[in-house]
Amino acid sequence: MEVRIRLLGSPGVEVDGARVVPSLRKAEGLLYYVVAEGRASRERLATLLWGDRDEESAHNNLRNALYLIRRALPEGVLLCDRRDVTLCRERVLRDLDDLPRLEDPAFGEWRGLCGEFLDGFEVPESEAYGEWLRGARDRIRGRLREGLRRRSGACYDSGDGQGVEGALEALLQLDPFDEDATLELLECHVARGNPGRAFDLFRSFRARLREELDLAPSPRAEEVFRRLLLRGEGRETPSPDRPLFFGRDEEIRTILETLGRERPRPLAVHVWGEAGVGKSALVRRILSRTASEEQLPLCGRAFEVSRDRPFSPWNDLLGHLGRSVDLDRLDLDPLRVSLLAGAFPALDRGRRRTATFEHAALFPEANPVMLGEILAEVLDRVAEVRTPVLFLEDLQWFDDLSLTLLGALLAHASRPWTLFLTRRSEAVSPSRRQLQRLAREGVVELREIPLAPFDPPQTLAFCRALLDEETIALRGEDFFYRQTQGIPLLVVELARALRENAGGEDPRGLAGILAGRYGELSEPQKELLDALSVFEEGATQEDLGALLGGDALERARVAESLLRKGLTEEGLEEGEGCPVLRFHHQRIREYVYEAMPAFKRQELHRRAAERLEGICGPQNWNPSLSARLFRHFARSGQGEKELALHLREMRLHIILNHELFPLLPDGVLLSCSTPFSDRPDTEQKLDQVRELLHRLNRAQPGSSRITALEASYLELRGGYLIAWGAYKEGRHFLDRSLRLARREGLGPVQLRCLQHLCYHGLQTDQPGLLIPHGREMLRLARELGRDASVGAALRFLGVARQLGGDFDGAVRIFQRSIEVFRGLEEVGNPHTLGELAAENYIGEVLHWSGRLPEALERFETCVDRCEEKGLFWGCSLFHSNAASVALDLGDPEGAARHVERATELFERCQGGRSGSMLYSLKALMEGKAGRYAEALTALERGELLCAPIRKKSWSSVHLLAKALLGERMERDPRAREAWGGVLTRPARDYAREAASLFDALGARLRAASLRERFGLDRD
């Protein structure tokens, strides 16, 4: 039988592959001692493990332990006589016996020997055993260190760099404070082309010394680190076919030394200079020098069109983050993560979220400031696992919101991650002023790197790496600086032009150089470059095909020829993984674009817009795609289409963000994701639409098409104002829209206006508004054949009956609404949410009339239907209503369960709107559980959602929560301390106000319960 005993690492005994363990820990410890020492006297063993017992008891315990060991092992492994206990070495395979082989590079199983002796094993009752164990560990650790050093040396002598790395890494596992081993491993990483690993190793070593020993690396170690990190810079030269990085030794040295220093705050490396000077190339060179698995590179880039697209460079960067990190696994507030994902859809690629205006209402701070704060928290959490390294290109094209977000991000970051920024030189730079201010305030460490063109000797050296000496001699050494002024981009393009046409005329500047190169191209190459120039961010094969037509393989061959000439480069479309063709540099794209005749540019933009129209559906929110389509419409002179797209997107936005039950088919709802946007965002977009509308009206006065678009704009603006609770202003815009719609015969616009007016009555619980507008909406919807609107109008009329106290009449009308939506499902056009909305109101009627079990069943059925269909909207509200009923049924556990689920869905933007009732009920649950801070947060969030709308059914529940929490506060000092700043009135006042609202709504049982509990009838 084969017996293996492992003492290095986690100890264990195996007999023929099966693990065996003596049943007593001291017996196991005795076995390990004898295996390690080879022989021990009975006297020594008794004293070692039972030294606190008398002699007879100690020896009795020893005999029992030996019996257990011998029973677990094959006969003859442990030899016992009256004096000693001995291990039979011939019968046992012991890992300790392999230690001499550790230094042999040919020994492949060496890593198994590098664990701590008896790792994790202790006999806490025996002080003597612990003393022996500490000594044995020190001795064996010393043997391991010596063996690993010899192994490292042997691997070095044989040229096995990987073996050297492995041995040194194992050595540092044993002693992480070994400075010599650290420096040797640094040298090895750099020699093997892994400077990023060297960078991370020394930073970790420095941090470990500081945190655990309050020490710093020696000056010698710091100097070696700097020397190794800078080794080899400036030696690499470009090849003729593919220019590599050249020069910039001093800038690289400055940046690397800055990166290598310890710092308590984020570092911003700001590289600026004129176009083509090599800013991005320098940063990429640094990133390649410091890249490692411990770093997480995140890149974002702005384009000239980005100025009209809020946050666009951040969306790209967060797309990288979303593909690299599972944010759900981080310890983060899900609501804050959802809001970040709502603002940046690339963060959440593949997941549907349904951000609504209620989510925005919970965060009344300025949007970019809040988003910057959330992003800082996310990156700080990510930094606990991998250090983020951000790279933002072309700061000069950042929109104002993106710059504000950058400032907020740096202001709230608490970990020392790194941010690289590039910017074209400008006389006045808001971004530079912002960075300098943050540096003065101590928020960020700023290193500014101005990048100048090459001087004449550097320019000539660069050209010598690109061209043969004959060409240089033919033109003269000063020719190259004269033509390029030392701009690296111009040097590269000049060299390419000379290689392609050595005898051509001398070009002047970039335009001259590119004109020469462009003139040498074939017509298909020119056509492809012209088409590519209208796509700032690059174009896919399909994009180019839509503009040029022809055979795809032929276009691919032309594209390949342009790649070989260095005019273009290949990349991947952000988030999609599709190959895209881009210009090698934006300056080249700008030249090609401006050189085209204006009529050709306009036609190419028209075709590009036509291509994007086919793939840009408003229900799938993609701000990058929309912005490109808007740009192509504008550049091709299609103002009407631009305005219509704005209105179409905003129409879907108001439905998804503001309607409690969006009136959309299931197919649309199941494919939708919606952005986070607050009121200022939306008003800004509406103002942009208004300006575009004014321009079109001036250009085409009296146009019926523009009038129809104007009516739609007024309807949308009025609808938003109603949703925000600005009822007087909203009615003003809706009345104007209605007049235009009736005059021009715009039935769909008129129908949407009536729906907004019904929402006014719904939000304010006014049957006097719901009845006339609901009836007119019902008549018009039937005339237009809009069955879904018929069902919605019936629902509005049912609510009017409900608010008037006619519960039976309300249920009859709700049933008619349900039948309409079921009829739509019969013909393959399901509107499940429309049907469930009426079911929800029937549940409310049952609740208000005291039929609590039936009400609970109704709401839970609504939840089940939503989950069965995969619909988000409605789920949070249905759970909240179910929780409210469970509370009245005296089932706090059921109420808490529904509140927890409603909160989870809402805060992950996967439950639609919930109204303020969710957080009012959550405040009650948290207060009842004694979680005072959580109750306060919930109460404040309920207030934020309740106050603007002033809906009686929500206000009554919120006042109920205040009354019950106030009641607890009056007898609980801790509650009074936590909630006193919010609950400023006596609990009975809140109860009285709540009871009055419940009475007005017809919920008399709940009103009576409140009066009885607070003794209000005695007033």
712 token code pair: 């739609």
Helix and strand counts by DSSP (H, E) for the chain = 46, 14
The predicted model gives 596-604 an average pLDDT of 92
Model confidence pLDDT, tens digit, residues 990-1008:
999 999 999 888 888 888 8
The pLDDT of residue 496 is 79
CB 507 within 8 A of CB 483: yes
pLDDT at 502 over 60: no
pLDDT at 236 over 50: no
883 token code pair: 């929780």
CB 941 within 8 A of CB 961: no
pLDDT at 713 over 90: yes
The pLDDT of residue 468 is 83
In the chain, the percentage of residues whose pLDDT exceeds 90 is 39
For 680, other C-beta atoms within 10 Å of its C-beta total 11
Tokens 């616009």 found at: 749
The pLDDT of residue 233 is 47
pLDDT at 937 over 70: yes
Q: Which of 363-367, 374-378, 398-402, 406-410 has the lowest mean pLDDT?
A: 363-367
pLDDT at 507 over 60: no
The pLDDT of residue 508 is 58
Instruction: Provide the residue type at 305 as one letter.
Output: V
pLDDT at 415 over 70: yes
- Round to whole Å and give the CA distance between 475 and 503: 10
Tokens 């790209």 found at: 316
CATH topology of domain 249-451: Rossmann fold (3.40.50)
CB 774 within 8 A of CB 758: yes
pLDDT at 88 over 80: yes
In the chain, the percentage of residues whose pLDDT exceeds 70 is 92
Could you tell me which residue, 160 or 326, shows the higher pLDDT? Answer: 160
348 pLDDT band, cuts 50/70/90, is: low
Give the strands of the sheet with 3-6, arranged side by side. Answer: 18-20, 12-15, 3-6, 92-94
- Round to whole Å and give the CA distance between 892 and 889: 8
The pLDDT of residue 234 is 41
> In which element (H, E) is residue 632 found?
helix 623-635
pLDDT at 35 over 80: yes
CB 653 within 8 A of CB 683: no
372 token code pair: 């910057």
User: Which alpha helices (DSSP H) does 413-501 contain, by range?
Assistant: 430-440, 456-466, 469-475, 479-484, 488-500
Q: At what angle do helices 523-533 and 541-548 cross, to 10 degrees?
A: 110
- Round to whole Å and give the CA distance between 5 and 31: 10
The pLDDT of residue 865 is 92
Q: Which of 234-243, 484-493, 704-713 has the lowest mean pLDDT?
A: 234-243
135 pLDDT band, cuts 50/70/90, is: very high
The pLDDT of residue 674 is 60
Model confidence pLDDT, tens digit, residues 385-406:
888 999 999 888 888 888 888 9
Q: Which of 14-23, 434-443, 563-572, 752-761 has the lowest mean pLDDT?
A: 563-572
CB 781 within 8 A of CB 790: yes
**Does CATH number 1.10.1060.10 belong to domain 521-636?**
no
Residues 6+ apart with CB under 8 A from 135: none
Model confidence pLDDT, tens digit, residues 810-821:
999 999 999 999
Model confidence pLDDT, tens digit, residues 687-703:
989 999 999 989 888 89
The alpha-carbon radius of gyration of the chain (Å, integer) is 37
pLDDT at 232 over 60: no
Average pLDDT of every residue of the chain: 86
- Round to whole Å and give the CA distance between 388 and 265: 13
pLDDT at 120 over 50: yes
pLDDT at 517 over 50: yes
Q: Give me the residue spans of the domains in the chain.
A: 3-147, 249-451, 453-507, 521-636, 638-751
For 358, other C-beta atoms within 10 Å of its C-beta total 23
- Round to whole Å and give the CA distance between 847 and 1003: 8
Model confidence pLDDT, tens digit, residues 864-889:
998 888 887 788 899 999 999 999 99
- Round to whole Å and give the CA distance between 139 and 114: 13
pLDDT at 235 over 50: no
The pLDDT of residue 424 is 85
960 pLDDT band, cuts 50/70/90, is: very high
192 token code pair: 């093997």
pLDDT at 959 over 50: yes
The pLDDT of residue 483 is 80
